[in-house]
Amino acid sequence: MTTTNTPPKTLWLGRWGFVLAATGSAVGLGNIWKFPYITGEFGGGAFVLVYLACILAVGVPIMMAEISFGRRGRGSPIDAIRRVVHESGRGSFWSIFGWMAMLCGFMILSFYVVVAGWSFSYLWKMLSGGLAGNSVDDMAAIFAANNANPFTLGAWSTLVTVLTMLIVGKGVQAGIEKSVSWMMPGMVIMLGILIGYGAFSGGFADAWSFLFSFNTEGLSSEGLLAALGHAFFTLSLASGAILTYGSYLPEGHSIARTTFSVAIADTVVALMAGLAIFPIIFANGMNPGQGPGLIFMSLPLAFQAMPFGTLFGVLFFVMLSMAALTSSISMIEATVAWLVASKGMTRKRASWGVGIVLWLVSTLAMLSFNMGADWTLAGRTFFDWLDYLTSRWMMPLGGLGMALMAGFLLRTEIFREELGLSRTQHTLWLFMVRYVSPLGIVLIFIDALGLATL
């Protein structure tokens, strides 16, 4: 890249623009779909504890660094990192972490639209009575049938792709900022209602101890890596999203404060989702480790049994679909911003161009649930590989790169100015990005590399 473009001038319009957009990015399928099912796979409490530790010790300090990169460099991850690195008299080599982040956001979106498509299709089923049936087996059969037809399943993920690119194509303020400003509170209310239901359904105590009894058997190396990767995924780190949104953050907004509000909101929603879903799992004797279909097979059971269940079900899937959209737009904003700034494309063109490539790759991911179910490599489908490579390797690696750049490579004044912390606070942050976060990542990597199966 030999671009010498000037930084774009776009900024969030409203005082809450960044917080809303960043919270919208963070809170998504990761919290409601992924967190419960991987917690189920890795056995509960111990996994949750490691995950929370990763959020605090790795995620939060790196998010602060990432927003600083964005605001200082004012541009896509590639451009912003290059500018900040140049400001410190270092070479363009380091923008490789920008490239990786952008690729990572694209790869995540390629499988994310499939899951978001599930959410839209379940909304449709809820509205049209297609979720009839009331046994655990009925729900499993409905989920299987929903995946079996590549044309209908593909239509749903295509819908999500189109909606995402429509919003992003409209621009940062008119598209992204406007669309994120009204969906999050409703989702929290819906989860609250579901927890209320869960509390009376008989499985609540089991769910609580499943999530919070930290002294269970301990955790496999794979579970450690999954917890670390999920901390990155759930906070939208090292995938271009938070950095690019940070590049639209006006001066004078506290990066530390927004980071904490986003991280807290994200964690609360994930734990709420767990507390809503696991009571249903245990009350119905379902297996918590059944994988990606977990919420789609469990929640409809609860909706059927509760008064006004259809209404709640519709509202829930509306909210889930919106949460997915406020995340999906953030995954692709980096690429679109880069095409606009560095390649001189119009936003519309860039969005549709990216959308077409995205559609091709996501269609391959969608086929992992039907025609391509046995196109596997080392036991993983294409969908699985996208998820695995991004969460377990690319995001932690990208986060490591950013922590080390911020901690050792770059001029310390840059981060002093961007973060505007007190002396003690800054020392603490520096200690985290220099030692604690990198060490955490490296130790988990080393542990995971000892695994026989990659």
How distant is the alpha carbon of residue 172 from its chain centre?
A: 19
Q: Determine the 3-state secondary structure of 395 from DSSP.
A: helix
Applying CB under 6 A, among 105, 203, 300, 355 the residue interacting with ligand PHE is 105
Q: How far is the CB of 101 from ligand PHE (least distance, A)?
A: 9
CB 339 within 8 A of CB 329: no
Return the number of the residue (51 or 120) whose C-beta is nearest Na ion: 51
Applying CB under 6 A, among 64, 107, 108, 404 the residue interacting with ligand PHE is 108
Return the number of the residue (263 or 297) whose C-beta is nearest ligand PHE: 263
**CB neighbourhood size of 137 (10 A):** 10
Q: How far is the CB of 26 from ligand PHE (least distance, A)?
A: 5
331 is an interface residue for ligand PHE by CB under 6 A: yes
The contact pattern for ligand PHE, residues 214-243, with x = CB under 6 A and - = no contact, is: -------------------xx-x--x-x--
Q: How far is the CB of 26 from Na ion (least distance, A)?
A: 5
Q: How far is CA 409 from CA 239, 282, 400, in A?
A: 21, 50, 13
Q: How far is the CB of 323 from ligand PHE (least distance, A)?
A: 7
Sole window of 249-257, 323-331, 414-422, 435-443 interacting with ligand PHE (rule: CB under 6 A): 323-331
299 is an interface residue for ligand PHE by CB under 6 A: no
The contact pattern for Na ion, residues 9-28, with x = CB under 5 A and - = no contact, is: -----------------x--
Q: Which does 108 bind (CB under 5 to 8 A by kind): ligand PHE, Na ion, none?
A: ligand PHE
358 is an interface residue for ligand PHE by CB under 6 A: no
- The DSSP line for 320-387 is HHHHHHHHHHHHHHHHHHHHHHHH---HHHHHHHHHHHHHHHHHHHHHTTTTTTT--BTTB-HHHHHH
Query: Which residue, among 437, 432, 421, 418, has the nearest Cα to 68 in the 3D structure?
Result: 418
**Exposure of 51 by Cβ count < 10 A (0-12 exposed, 13-18 middle, 19+ buried)?**
buried
Q: How far apart are CA 82 and CA 1, in angstroms?
A: 10
Sole window of 27-35, 339-347, 371-379, 435-443 interacting with ligand PHE (rule: CB under 6 A): 27-35
Q: How far is the CB of 216 from ligand PHE (least distance, A)?
A: 24
Applying CB under 6 A, among 19, 22, 26, 367 the residue interacting with ligand PHE is 26
Where residue 345 falls (left for φ over 0; alpha for ψ -120 to 50; beta otherwise) is beta
Applying CB under 5 A, among 119, 234, 239, 247 the residue interacting with Na ion is 234
30 is an interface residue for Na ion by CB under 5 A: yes
Applying CB under 6 A, among 22, 23, 24, 31 the residue interacting with ligand PHE is 31
CB 230 within 8 A of CB 34: yes
Return the number of the residue (29 or 126) whose C-beta is nearest Na ion: 29
**Helices 96-128, 136-148: inter-axial angle, 10-degree rounding:** 120
Where residue 376 falls (left for φ over 0; alpha for ψ -120 to 50; beta otherwise) is beta
Applying CB under 6 A, among 12, 18, 20, 30 the residue interacting with ligand PHE is 30
Applying CB under 6 A, among 146, 157, 330, 363 the residue interacting with ligand PHE is 330
Return the number of the residue (201 or 362) whose C-beta is nearest ligand PHE: 362
Sole window of 10-18, 23-31, 193-201, 295-303 interacting with ligand PHE (rule: CB under 6 A): 23-31
Where residue 446 falls (left for φ over 0; alpha for ψ -120 to 50; beta otherwise) is alpha
Q: How far is the CB of 60 from Na ion (least distance, A)?
A: 14
- What is the separation, in whole angstroms, between the first and last Cα of the chain? 33
Query: Helix H segments across 2-149?
Result: 17-26, 29, 35-41, 45-54, 60-73, 77-87, 96-128, 136-148
CB 12 within 8 A of CB 244: no
Return the number of the residue (234 or 330) whose C-beta is nearest Na ion: 234
321 is an interface residue for ligand PHE by CB under 6 A: no
Where residue 410 falls (left for φ over 0; alpha for ψ -120 to 50; beta otherwise) is beta
Residue with tokens 């990763």: 54
The residue ranges that bind ligand PHE (CB under 6 A) are 25-26, 28-31, 105, 108, 233-234, 236, 239, 241, 327, 330-331
